[in-house]
Structure 1
């Protein structure tokens, strides 16, 4: 892969996507949809993206509920849902499926929740509808149970793999795993991607940097740090209870937590909010569940469904990038025209991936992706 040491040749591509998580894979998918003849390269520093690999895609809960804190986030959520719906219609074999959604929250917060909905309609729900699904679950006097549709869940690693495999099968396209990009600099009328020690990897006319929680340690990391990007732990426990086929997701809105059925794994996933900030997949130890995480999970479950607290059994933890306004950071790099950064999933990378990818590609002009040759140049002729 990369620079041919025998001939000195460096492979040319029209577009390079740095990061093969769900945002990067979706960026490549939409780019090829727009231009099937595009020469596309996607690179990732991990050897593989799969379930239980410690990254935001491999360990994602894979829940898409179209909501948003403000109009901008709701616009992204609605657009992503529409793109996922189209993708599922075109490729019904993809591991994306719809599911019912129930919400348990204080009555006084219902109005605020309604304002966040990006399409689905909230309706009052009968608690009896959840009999046999969540033992002992009953709203207290100041709580209410609501229902909505329009949600999706996915095997995010499987979805990402399918999109990347599609790219691998196209002439002129490639997916390189276990290939870290440490720099991206102007070179001729495009850019040079380099690895450790400045080793040349490839040339491209344009690039999208979608490095997820590794963003602060890759190309333009200091720029992203200056923009306010921080890395936070995302955590979830497993519940050793088998959900019925077709079981719904239950969202505890007031505690930013949810119970997601995973019937293919014979368990439930309980996602809650970790407040462990400024961590790093590069500098620190691997993400892990802590005693504090367990205490928080038990606290939330005991508040809503005490019978479930004793079923906690193992879990998962990983990192993701968060922005100040909880909106994805998608912007061009001013001194690198033709390069766009697309990071800051804010724990919603899967949910917003199509809209993030679409926005990133929209910031590239047709001239950036013109598939003419980059021209023969020696490595020494690139601009620094």
Structure 2
């Protein structure tokens, strides 16, 4: 290993993934898919088995789980299309995973249809008959200056369940480990790899390479100041529940002009209404954010504009934090003074949607042969 035996009591790993959310879990999955004999450590300060189900400030546990392959520019569209392809491959190999295809409708100003078409990363938009939604959203009819469109190619997932399944896969492999309730505060160069250190500098393990995928905790973990200098900020993501039971094949409805959507969650017997919150610079260290009166007013405003009768069905909800970058692209890059370490953060509220492509890009930066050269972008992912 190229260093002295001060680490004799520590386990040694080929790859350590710091962060056990969907990006971290997907990173481990793809790494083991490529190298089944890899010694992999995934470590997280939260106990995912408990926290994914208990309303933690965890972006994975509270994610809406909607994958609609779109992107605001060519780089984001490439990531979205690649992630959709990887999710399709994952589901084909393991059909029992909680990832399901989803029909999607779009309601927007007719003047904005051309711009929406430009964002699509594969799916084709077609004009939809408003009667197609009459049984789902009675009374919903676009006005003369609005368009109702339909697309396929979307997925919805129980992100917590998917993440647990991927972590369990890692737990069951020889030479691999998943450690939870174990905070990593730094990665210190040591020999030809790194020591993962916890609070007070306590050494936790040795690894040859590492991916730091700490999600909304990014500013408080290893290389937090570097990520802050890159412009990463923490924003609240909010959604309300609607106390109405959707059919198993109910579609998603996206209000494109308002950056909001209705997502069926038949397994939970409810709909989820996601909308845009503009509360910035909170911290998961202080606990999860709360839904505010302003959040409620914004949710009611959007629903009353399109489907007024749904505004009275709002019932509870969820809020969590995520990392946002200035250009809304994931921050996936090597740490210059730590060769063999890559940060993979900045889900921008789309961590589930882009997780496979983020993970794939991080692994490619650690091992240039991981992907074919023509499939890699240059610079920032």
Range class of TM-score, shorter chain: over 0.9
Check whether the contact 1:188–1:381 (CA below 8 A) recurs between aligned residues.
no
Shift in alpha-carbon separation, 1:7–1:189, aligned structure 2, 3 A: closer
Deviations 1:261-310 (A, max 9, x none): 00111100000000001111014664x10000000000000001001000
CA distance in 2, matches of 1:256, 1:382: 28
Q: Is the 8 A contact 2:52 2:62 kept in 1?
A: no
Shift of 1:44: 6.7
Q: Is the 8 A contact 2:3 2:191 kept in 1?
A: no
1:133 aligns to 2:101 (yes or no): no
Question: Which blocks of at least 5 consecutive residues in structure 1 are unaligned?
Answer: 372-376
Q: Deviations over 1:139-180 (max 9, x none)?
A: 112111000000000000000000000000000000001000
Deviation at 1:244, TM superposition (A): 1.2
| C-alpha deviation, 1:132, in angstroms | 1.6
State how far apart, in whole Å, the 1-side matches of 2:87 and 2:48 are: 26
Q: Deviations over 1:6-62 (max 9, x none)?
A: 996011000000000000000000000110000000087896433633310000000
Any conservation in 2 of the 1:258–1:272 contact (CA below 8 Å)?
yes
- Matched residue SS, 1:6: helix
RMSD: 5.9
> Offset of 1:348 from its aligned partner?
0.2
TM-score when normalising by structure 2 = 0.93
CA deviation digits over 1:303-324, x for unaligned, max 9?
Answer: 0100100000000000000000
For residue 6 of structure 1, what is the aligned residue in structure 2? 6
Write the deviation string for residues 96-142 of structure 1: whole angstroms up to 9, x where unpaired: 00010000000000000000000000000000000120122111121
Residue 268 to residue 41, structure 1, CA distance change in 2 (3 Å): same
Q: TM-score when scaled to structure 1?
A: 0.92
Question: How far, CA to CA, are the matches of 1:65 and 1:367 in structure 2?
Answer: 29
Cα gap change, 1:298 to 1:380, in 2 (>3 Å): closer
Partner of 1:203: 206
For residues 205 and 146 of structure 1, the distance between their equivalents in structure 2, rounded to whole angstroms, comes to 49
Corresponding residue of 1:16: 16
1:262–1:344 CA distance, 2 compared to 1 (3 A)? same
1:204-242: CA deviation from partner (whole Å, max 9, x where unpaired): 000000000000000000000000000000000000111
Structure 1 residues 126 and 14: CA distance shift in structure 2, 3 A: same
Unaligned runs of 5+ in 2: none
Distance 1:7 1:215, change over 3 A: closer
Q: Distance in 1 between matches of 2:376 and 2:116?
A: 56
Question: How far off its partner does 1:2 sit?
Answer: 20
**Would the alpha carbon gap of residues 339 and 148 (structure 1) be closer, same or farther in structure 2, given more than 3 Å must change?**
same
User: CA 1:292–1:144 in structure 2 vs 1: closer, same or farther (change >3 Å)?
Assistant: same
How many residues are treated as equivalent by the alignment?
Answer: 378
- Which of 65, 68, 72 does residue 65 from structure 1 map onto? 68
Paired with 1:180 and 1:260, the residues of 2 have a C-alpha distance of: 34
Farther-moved stretch of structure 1 (217-226 vs 274-283)? 274-283
SS in 2 for 1:206: strand
Contact 1:2 1:200 in 2 (8 A): no
1:60-139 matches, within 5 Å, as: 60-139=63-142
Residues 192-213 of structure 1: CA distance to partner in whole angstroms, max 9, x if unpaired?
Answer: 0011111110000000000000
